Structure 1
């Protein structure tokens, strides 16, 4: 039987505010005298019922993070938890719009998050990077504003640019300018597509945004020619099975197309998205997918290798991570 903690893991798709545990949110809510009882039940679990109430719960939980120190605590807590589950690398989506809502400058927000990530790295060795995201339903101007802010305030740990928010709102062509700016600045590019939108949403993201990765992307399975395109163009999917099931995209894990896509030859990774909201963790994703679809230790290592290959970090860091992965492979033999 596989010891799931010993499988080195890597995560490419997790929203940092969505990684806040109810315990941490309640602690800060008490400090700032914010009432979060509507979104956290008596058992200390997040409470929401559909995508709209999930977003409301997410925004209220995010509102308790107000200072660089709060964000530092959040990132350190999350990266330590990742490392405890055997992760050697993690990328988190950061939202300048949430920072702005908290009254923080983009620079202060990033510096706070980076400080926590560095503390976690010092103790556990886990590498981390950040991907700044624009919010689709805020419109093209808002997404371009985020791109300009990221480019004007470079930070060594902010290495990617992405698009999140309501996939059904705004055609990808609206955001092509923002992605062109980010690409010219040397940032890695990813976009949420193929979660609540169908194959046409994925095709449009590929056509207009120049991404090398897709957040979710699993509904490509509905179009054979699109699956072939993903394979031919070596597009990496940031698959979040637990999130998809929790939000009702698929009824149960065994009906999720992650393994169909993997067997077809699509490059897939496993990720937790907003872990405490969906009662999951990165380790849980590796474990449940492997148990449900019969993945071996080697299969899981291959998924991690795909994530490292697709990571938005420099080659020297990738090489160090691959050495760690290879040593785990030889230890298992």
Structure 2
């Protein structure tokens, strides 16, 4: 077997020594080429070349959710062909690693490498569904390029928080859960749409859902983790179905406190609920429109402001080692 290992040298929880150990372990079982990323988008470019090559059987991503997202977009640049594309394996190296953990992999990179090698020896894999976004015809965002996401996307409030966190990280702050909580509080105070949302959700055969202040799109569950605690925004979301949506139509201080408590105490059986909560399950296609440009994020990566985003749930898009 020939494999490409894409290594993010800035991976939050992986030291250079640990990376050397992981590379040695993988190289002992396969013909391995290890490449360290040098710029934003490099992992996508490397995975694209692997997808276009007839020689690569497996692409291993060593890094956080952002690295995995780039690799997935590189592999699927020409569309989903699960049987023709290299398989994907993920070694978690970021601060949260939602995608790897949602697949059932250990959060420790050494343990995850062992699990991947065991799965390869047993030929254990699964074909998962992914989310795809694109610009909406007839809008200012029509020309936005299609982009895949592995576990979640957000339009509105939560994406604004992600954007604030990225700004703080660019200033040298470490990505911690406390940083997210502080930036969420600051964004709440600054958000002009928190009391009456600006987002409308529309889809084939659906009644429009209006006045959303927050919209979270999930491709799997949990939505995220606080340390070792899973947080379930859409408990029924799954790699085996299309997309789930959690929308909130009011973000007053009491409502935000209530929904935050529900998220922190959520379970695989129960997520946020209430009069102003919108929950949709297994939706194949829909569009989120906004009256004003709003922040947009995918897999924890802030992508700027949009007024409209079209979402598609694509089943059986990619083979992964588990």
Q: Which structure has more helix as a fraction of its residues?
A: 1
Does TM, normalized by the shorter one, top 0.5? no
Q: Which structure has more strand as a fraction of its residues?
A: 2
Name the TM-score, length of structure 1 as normaliser: 0.27
